[in-house]
Structure 1
Amino acid sequence: MTRTVYLNGEYLPETEAHVSIFDRGFVMGDGVYEVTSVLQGKLLDFDGHCLRLNRSLGELGMKNPLSREAWLEIHRKLVELNGIDEGMVYLQVTRGNPGDRDFAYPPEGTPQTVVLFTQAKPGLADNPQARQGIRVISIPDLRWARRDIKTVQLLYPSMAKMEAKHRGVDDAWFTEDGFVTEGTSNNTYIVKGGKIITRPLSQDILHGITRASLLRYAAEAQMQIEERPFTIAEAQAADEAFFTSASAFVMPVIEVDGVTLGSGRPGPVATRLRELYLEESLKSAI
């Protein structure tokens, strides 16, 4: 079935949606994006994604082209039109098409490009990997220094994911100055003595929406949380490890750079946190 997508105010079959070759998202990577998960036909953490979108746009000197209500209407309409029960809605905003390639920003008033599409992911909540756990490797973090902005510049994370695949594991964690920054598309955590340890927010990592919700739920459940950087050696010596993202929710990690963690199976803290996130986020889904 051909998907219906949204492009600059129109709902179109995906085969009829076209963006100019001069769009700055294409020639300059000059754009930001968000991904909102859908469970039971409802949007998870929608307001968090809207707030981060606004922040990312502001950090790049772009205006938010739509109101919160307009974004919500488009998301819901695409979910309905494409019959999404479990999956994701991807949105992207670029600085638009200035009519040619130039490093300088386009003139004030140049229309931005707004794109949204859905991805059906049956079994998103009941992911077998969450029951088995995944294996990661570490690689140097060579990305730019503004990782807190959710830009479309995803080449290095893609390269890292392919390196992990080449080496026969599931994903990669980035390291800088001896410490883990984050995963290729996720925030990272270890568990030691029942305490959840994760890097604090800064320009070094993406301000994860799932991260924020999970830490709030964990605090409400009286779990111990320590926000500080940790090393790969600490991860290898941890009782458990996991990562969070909008599409993976909470994903247990059972091996780091060839070293098995704990029993080699998802631990009780990560397992409970995944259950907790799904329970609580569905309560507030819209």
Structure 2
Amino acid sequence: MDQIAYVNGSFLPLADAKVSILDRGFLFADGIYEVAAVLDGKLIDNASHLARLERSVGEIALALPETTDRIQEIQKELVARNNLVNGMVYLEVTRGADSGRDFAFPKSGVKPTLIMFTSVKDIINAPSAKTGIAVITVPDIRWERRDIKSVALLAQVLAKQAAAEAGAGEAWMIEEGMVTEGGSSSAFILTQDDVLVTRQNSSAILPGCTRKAVVALAEERQLRVEERPFSVQEALAAKEAFTTSATVFVQAVVSIDGKTVANGKPGPMTNRLREIYVDFARATAV
């Protein structure tokens, strides 16, 4: 069966899903995106993703062409049309296609572009969930509004490519000696005193939806959480390290720049938090 995508009100084969070369998302990266995981044919933590979508478009004065309720209906229909059991739904909204290439916003008559498509991924049974991943560190060269989930991802592309070339599963970005976040994930450590540490939300990082859920789930279980920056040296001295995102859930980090974290295996806290998050995901899926 051909994969089905959604473009501006129409469901059509992915091969036929196209937008104008004048679309501002293509010309200026003038757009916002979200990725929601799918487990057992249902969307995971989707309300959090749609709330972040609304916040991001608001920060760049971009009006959504559909309500978030309607966007969720489209997501669900795409899941059904593609018979998707486990994977992801990607959505992107841009400021649309103007008549030329002017940096300033279109004055009128330009409707935002909304596209969505699905992909298959078995997040639960991913081999790396059992082995953990290596990460490398790279300078954080991004702009100062990382809290906006912009489609302008060139810095992350370069970071992830460097990780791939090094045989690593992720790149942690470093600013002023401290870890900001991963190329497509939030970063956590568990200190020797059993404190979970992750950087506080600010314009320096994306407010991760999975990060938010994991912090809340940990606090509900009376685990100690500190939201503050940490260094690579602190991470290497930690009991455990891990990342979170919609596409990996909770993922152990077993080495950083070739140096082993603890015993080089996923730790018990990471494994437990992954189990807790998966239980939460299934219980709240829509």
Give TM class, smaller chain.
over 0.9
Q: Could you tell me whether the CA contact under 8 Å between 2:65 and 2:113 is conserved in 1?
A: no
Instruction: Write out per-residue CA displacement over residues 257-279 of structure 1, whole angstroms, 9 at most, x where no aligned residue.
Output: 12101111000111100000000
Superposition RMSD in Å: 0.9
Quote the Cα distance in structure 1 between the aligned partners of 2:109 and 2:45: 31
Pair 1:161 & 2:145 matched: no
Instruction: Write out per-residue CA displacement over residues 7-47 of structure 1, whole angstroms, 9 at most, x where no aligned residue.
Output: 00111111222100000000100000000000010000110
Query: SS at the partner of 1:276?
Result: helix
Q: Could you tell me whether the CA contact under 8 Å between 2:38 and 2:89 is conserved in 1?
A: yes
Q: Could you tell me whether the CA contact under 8 Å between 1:43 and 1:285 is conserved in 2?
A: yes
Residue 28 of structure 2: aligned partner: 28
Instruction: Write out per-residue CA displacement over residues 124-167 of structure 1, whole angstroms, 9 at most, x where no aligned residue.
Output: 21111011010011110001111000010111111111111222
Q: Could you tell me whether the CA contact under 8 Å between 1:188 and 1:243 is conserved in 2?
A: yes
Q: CA deviation at 1:104?
A: 1.2
Q: Trace 1:107-256 onto structure 2 (pairs within 5 A).
A: 107-121=107-121, 123-192=122-191, 193-256=193-256
**Identity among equivalent pairs (%):** 46
Q: Could you tell me whether the CA contact under 8 Å between 1:194 and 1:269 is conserved in 2?
A: no
Q: Could you tell me whether the CA contact under 8 Å between 1:98 and 1:107 is conserved in 2?
A: no
Query: SS at the partner of 2:98?
Result: coil
Q: CA deviation at 1:211?
A: 0.7
Quote the Cα distance in structure 2 between the aligned partners of 1:128 and 1:168: 15
Give TM-score scaled by structure 2 length: 0.98
Q: CA deviation at 1:68?
A: 2.2
Give TM-score scaled by structure 1 length: 0.98
Pair 1:10 & 2:10 matched: yes
Residue 261 of structure 2: aligned partner: 261
Deviates more, 1:99-108 or 1:36-45: 99-108
Q: CA deviation at 1:108?
A: 2.9
Quote the Cα distance in structure 1 between the aligned partners of 2:211 and 2:170: 18
Unmatched runs of 5 consecutive residues or more in structure 2? none
Q: Could you tell me whether the CA contact under 8 Å between 2:95 and 2:113 is conserved in 1?
A: yes
Query: SS at the partner of 2:55?
Result: helix
Quote the Cα distance in structure 2 between the aligned partners of 1:203 and 1:99: 33
Q: CA deviation at 1:280?
A: 1.1
Residue 44 of structure 1: aligned partner: 44
- Which aligned runs of 4 or more in structure 1 are off by greater than 3 angstroms? none
